[in-house]
Amino acid sequence: MSEDGFHVHGPHDHELEHAAHSAHDDGDSFAGRLAVLTAVLSTVGALFSYQGGATQNDAMINKNNAAIKKTEASDHWNYYQAKSNKQNLAELAAELSPVNREKYLKEAARYAGEKDGIKKQAEVLEARSKQWNDEAETEIHLHHRWAQAMTVIQVSIALAAITLLTRRRWMLKGVYIAAGISFALAGMALLHL
């Protein structure tokens, strides 16, 4: 501003003044709506993130349970093998010792009977280990779906920020498309697809 009260605006000053008036005239509803949309997307993203973490934890617990059952089954198979060895030794002793033959044959029969129960327990434990593994695989798949949904919603939030900074309204389509893809992925996770 000059001393005699006359002021000349440059092109930059005019643009800033125009932007300031536009922002005050409509309350900058574009920025406000975009801020609300970003807040909603962030909240939904937090929920997706929680679900992703929960399914990952469930998968790890199931894998751990599968490993425990597999170890228990292995212990039973080792016990089964020990009973087989004792049965074989008793049968050999029956062949080599005619005096105690009946005693050794009874022991061999007892070991054979014990082996059946041990074998059944080992097979049950192996089947349960497989179930835990299958459940873990299902949870890992769901985790991946939730992680994909979270990643795409983060892209949507980033696009919203770029849209706000550049004031390119056409970029809102990208925000909505990315958010829609994210919701579709989350829906797939909810439906276990």
Taking only the tens place, the pLDDT of each residue in 90-128 is: 999 988 888 888 998 999 999 999 999 999 999 999 999
Residue with tokens 């228990």: 72
Counting the structural domains of the chain, the total is: 1
Let me know if residue 135 belongs to a domain: yes
pTM, rounded to two decimals: 0.69
Angle at 159 between CA 153 and CA 164, to 5 degrees: 130
User: Which residue segment(s) compose the domain that 137 sits in?
Assistant: 34-190
Let me know if residue 24 belongs to a domain: no
* Res. 76: pLDDT tops 80: yes
Let me know if residue 140 belongs to a domain: yes
Let me know if residue 9 belongs to a domain: no
Burial class (CB in 10 A: 0-12, 13-18, 19+), 151: middle
More confident residue, 35 or 12: 35
Let me know if residue 16 belongs to a domain: no
Let me know if residue 5 belongs to a domain: no
- Here the tokens at position 28 are 């900058």
- 190 sits in the region (left: phi over 0; alpha: psi -120 to 50; else beta) called alpha
What are 150-159's contacts with CB under 8 Å, separation 24+? 150/45, 150/48, 150/49, 150/52, 150/182, 152/178, 152/179, 152/181, 152/182, 152/185, 153/41, 153/44, 153/45, 153/48, 153/178, 153/179, 153/182, 154/45, 156/41, 156/182, 157/38, 157/41, 157/42, 157/45
Grade residue 144 by pLDDT with cuts at 50, 70 and 90.
very high
Let me know if residue 18 belongs to a domain: no
